[in-house]
Amino acid sequence: MTSPGPSEGLGIGRFLRLSKDPLGFLTALRQHGTFVRYRLGPRTLHLVSDPEIVHEVLVAKASSFHKDRGTEMMRPLLGRGLLTSEDEQHRRQRRALQPAFHKARVAHYAQVMAEEAIRARDALPADEEVDVLSLAMRTTFAIVGRALFGTDVAGHAPEVQRALADAMSVFTLARVPVYRLLLLLPLPSTLRFARARDTLRAVVDRIVREHGASGFFSLAEAAGLSGDELRDTALTLLLAGHETTAVALCWTLYLLSQHPAAVARLEAEIDSALEGRAPQPTDLERLPYLQRVVSESMRLFPPAWAVGRLAQEDVELSGRIVRQGETIIISQWVMHRDAALWPDPLRFDPDRFERPPVHRFAYLPFGAGPRVCIGDGFAWAELILLLATLAQSFRFRLATGQRIEPLPRVTLRLKYGLRMIPVRRSADACARQAAIGSGFSGSGSSSSTGSQW
């Protein structure tokens, strides 16, 4: 038995819709069911939105799947590091790196996060437009460099950001059935990709050369990673470790700008818990509403908006057969906005996270199973400390004319960036919020996310 889906055929129209609007395309596919088969040229794919089947793919039968061809396209850039390796190589790399992300080490890194959060806050000009996306990228890049590699990488940030933008643009070719051929052609995008790859590898080689005996590098070398694996994994952590967090921070600030009741409640919690001092790593658990705000932001705008798995053999999933070579697509964008899993799914309501989701695998901001994001605890602590530090001093409103539209690339970016105006909170207002404290009774929710998204 195979999964139902749209009409058969090569799917040229579907490919065009997918290229133009991936999020809308996947959302429309969900209307055909929770296990939908479709064709794109010679490829057969299945969109899975049933949490039980997601569990089968990512956990129970994970050994029957590899990552999909989007990962293949990353290998010229990232080599065979943690994100792109498979099978025993991946298991060995993960065992080697796991100690670097142990809870105790993340608590140590959090001091660096707190310091960089203060630096970002102090760089904000009150009542002036700020490129928040660029600020977030620089800040999270600096945090990864200092925390994991023991070095100040801030000087590399501009060239890395330019190179990263050029490199990521080529990954849209993964949707093209003949993408391997396109990569061999001297197209402007592929030439930019080659230059970007050389730039990024040169930066990482410099870091490894200068700081190879410290931090992450010492742990990885002690665990037996080769020189190439060391470089590839360092590049993976540097790039993936800062972009996803920066994007999540921006989406959260955008959502807060649309929901003043949530901002008031968040400020009350921060002022009551911190009493005017700067947030510290030990404060993370004292900010439960902030944690719910971040959870809700990552539900509505998940930085990892879809994952693909390529069947290595014929696999039975919920009584249906996925053939070897076929692809499973699991879209967090689709599942996190599914009314069957989330009541009133477009509503921004942090308090929905006072209770567990209807199913453990209905909410996947960091993935799941043996390939769950190794840095989820790191990213979580980073987001909470950054937001607490910024919200303690500023409220953010969108700059005039700022358009908001998600751009699904490797992460769910903001198509037009994010320009905001930070408005400094007055001392009197902070004192009033602290007096209100945890007794604030507003729900902080609203009827929608504040836009068509």
Average pLDDT rounded to a whole number, residues 131-140: 96
Q: Is the pLDDT of residue 336 over 90?
A: yes
Average pLDDT rounded to a whole number, residues 118-129: 97
**Would strands 43-48 and 327-330 be described as parallel, antiparallel, or unpaired?**
parallel
- Residue 452 included in any domain: no
Print the domain residue range for 184: 12-439
Q: How far apart are CA 423 and CA 334, in angstroms?
A: 34
Residue type, 67: K
Determine the straight-line distance between the first and last CA of the chain, rounded to whole angstroms.
36
- Residue 87 included in any domain: yes
Average pLDDT rounded to a whole number, residues 108-126: 96
Average pLDDT rounded to a whole number, residues 439-446: 42
Burial 29-47 (b: 16+ CB within 10 A, else e): bbeeebbbbbbbeebbbbb
Beta bridge partners of 413: 407
445-446-450 Cα angle (round to 5): 125
If 0-12 CB within 10 Å is exposed, 13-18 middle and 19+ buried, where does residue 356 land?
A: exposed
Helix axes 288-300, 376-393, angle to 10 degrees: 110
- Residue 427 included in any domain: yes
> At 18, is the pLDDT very low, low, confident or very high (cuts 50, 70, 90)?
confident
Burial 104-139 (b: 16+ CB within 10 A, else e): ebbeebbebbbbbbbebbeebeeeeebebbbbbbbb
Q: How far apart are CA 25 and CA 59, in angstroms?
A: 26
> At 225, is the pLDDT very low, low, confident or very high (cuts 50, 70, 90)?
confident
Domain CATH number, residue 173? 1.10.630.10
Q: How far apart are CA 244 and CA 180, in angstroms?
A: 27
Q: How far apart are CA 130 and CA 134, in angstroms?
A: 9
Burial 398-431 (b: 16+ CB within 10 A, else e): bbeebebebebbbbbbbeebbbbbbeebeeeebe
Contacts of 160 (CB under 8 A, 6+ apart): 141, 153, 199, 200, 203, 238, 239
Residue type, 121: R
- Residue 291 included in any domain: yes
pLDDT tens, residue by residue, 51-99:
999 999 999 999 999 998 777 777 878 888 888 899 999 999 999 889 8
Average pLDDT rounded to a whole number, residues 182-192: 75
- Residue 196 included in any domain: yes
pTM of the predicted model as reported, rounded to 2 decimal places: 0.90
> How many residues make up the chain in this entry?
453
Q: Is the pLDDT of residue 10 over 80?
A: no
Give the model's pLDDT for residue 359.
96
- Residue 283 included in any domain: yes
Q: Is the pLDDT of residue 199 over 60?
A: yes
Domain count, the chain: 1
Mean pLDDT of the chain: 87
338-344-345 Cα angle (round to 5): 40
- Residue 347 included in any domain: yes
Q: How far apart are CA 392 and CA 425, in angstroms?
A: 8
Cα→Cα distances 118→123, 242, 433, Å: 9, 17, 21
Give the model's pLDDT for residue 268.
98
> At 356, is the pLDDT very low, low, confident or very high (cuts 50, 70, 90)?
very high
* Among 97, 29, 184, residue whose Cα is nearest residue 377: 97
Q: Is the pLDDT of residue 236 over 60?
A: yes
- Residue 450 included in any domain: no
Contacts of 212 (CB under 8 A, 6+ apart): 221, 230
